[in-house]
Structure 1
């Protein structure tokens, strides 16, 4: 299926590894012009080289999305380089601080919200004029199964991802008159090189095997590429009537984590 993305411009935050890297690879194969933004310069350069080898026009932006202003800067640099922006994928995120409530601090919760929700909102705010000018603008927030299913620890991350899902739903209404679609995509646990689940598989093989066997209908975790393919479809004109929703890409996973 031709997704109609060739020649369009995308910005992927957290674009140097995992979900972001896989998404940028799919975008490159679709013929998009791509900006990837992330904190680590070495990994960012390596991913940019991979995308260039696929024939894509690439901009690499070093940015720390713990500061939402960096997200706005990434949007501005992308639009300046490519003359606009059609697709925003707000993928950067994670948990800050201790995962146990008794050990966590108010600062941990604040920083986790800034990293996940704050950066996505700042990026979207800066992107609105460009997405509107596109005529088919799409913003996608990468949330998580943790935003809808409870776990035993990590309340700050779960609350932030739930907030991200609801922010997408609200913004789909606010920005709808400008013909900008806003959606969330919520992955389950994904296994990819260098990721946390690969480390847990090596360190706790029996727990990992039990998790796969009991919590996934197919008996395995998902992959970053499986999620990236969904993100590309949602970003495309082929999904032009997909708006204001949270798309669960978790293989039917039962609970967020064993961590």
Structure 2
């Protein structure tokens, strides 16, 4: 299916690994022009070498870094068609063991970075008369599970997606979201669990996911490029669950 994304200017945050990397690769397959940002310059340089993307080493928990990012991206690409707010991390433990400053850190990176970047990018999109903002949240922004500070930040992101979409759709800017379930990709957390129990992934999938396996990063990338395309033109404000049936919600 031709999604008509060739030449579109796309910015993906947290784009060097896992879901962010897969989203980047999916847009590149559609022949979009992609820039990515992350904190690790080493990982960014590898992505530039391997995929030819434009790179921006930034700590998006910082206000000034977000303004610099959009300014530099526009300087390189002259416009922005798609913003994917993917950057995020888990913080803390249970509520009683997590001090307020850790909740603040989670909100700064997982939520406020997306709000600020959406504000900055949408100004350009509104002037252009079109654009798409995709916010990557989590099924745990919709229901219980995971770490409380992470859940709270992702719940806020889902709410923001809906409210902001209603504000800018009149200017032909669509704001939408993706809520992934358990997605496997090599990282410290999955590696730690596998080191403790080599059968962990199989047990996790059997006990929690009706589809019987963990998701693949490219399955999130596939949804992202579809949502960014005109094929999804009537999807506005929704956060689409992509989880193999893992969540227990009826909607």
**TM-score, normalisation: structure 2:** 0.94
How far 1:91 moved relative to its partner? 0.3
**Which of 161, 172, 183 does residue 168 from structure 1 map onto?**
161
SS at match of 1:217: coil
CA distance in 1: counterparts of 2:164 and 2:223, whole angstroms: 20
SS at match of 1:167: helix
Task: Please show how residues 30-45 of structure 1 align to structure 2 within 5 Å.
Answer: 30-45=30-45
CA distance in 2: counterparts of 1:198 and 1:46, whole angstroms: 22
Does structure 1 residue 196 correspond to structure 2 residue 185?
no
Does structure 1 residue 90 correspond to structure 2 residue 112?
no
How far 1:139 moved relative to its partner? 0.2
CA distance in 2: counterparts of 1:2 and 1:188, whole angstroms: 27
CA distance in 2: counterparts of 1:104 and 1:195, whole angstroms: 21
Do 2:139 and 2:247's aligned partners in 1 also have CA atoms closer than 8 Å?
no
Instruction: Name the structure 1 match of 2:5.
Output: 5
Task: Please show how residues 239-250 of structure 1 align to structure 2 within 5 Å.
Answer: 239-250=232-243
Return structure 1 stretches of 4+ with deviation > 4 angstroms: none
Instruction: Name the structure 2 match of 1:231.
Output: 224
* Unaligned runs of at least 5 residues, structure 1: 53-57
How far 1:48 moved relative to its partner? 1.7
Count of residues in Structure 1 that have an aligned counterpart in Structure 2: 248
* Unaligned runs of at least 5 residues, structure 2: none
CA distance in 2: counterparts of 1:161 and 1:68, whole angstroms: 19
Do 2:130 and 2:171's aligned partners in 1 also have CA atoms closer than 8 Å?
no
**TM-score, normalisation: structure 1:** 0.91
How far 1:68 moved relative to its partner? 3.6
**Which of 109, 122, 127 does residue 128 from structure 1 map onto?**
122
SS at match of 2:76: helix
How far 1:227 moved relative to its partner? 0.5
CA distance in 1: counterparts of 2:213 and 2:105, whole angstroms: 32
Task: Please show how residues 62-101 of structure 1 align to structure 2 within 5 Å.
Answer: 62-96=57-91, 98-101=92-95
Does structure 1 residue 155 correspond to structure 2 residue 148?
yes
Name the Cα RMSD after superposition. Answer: 1.5
Q: For 1:209-258, what per-residue CA distance to the aligned partner results, in whole angstroms no more than 9, with x for missing partners? A: 32110111121100111001101110112211111001001110147xxx
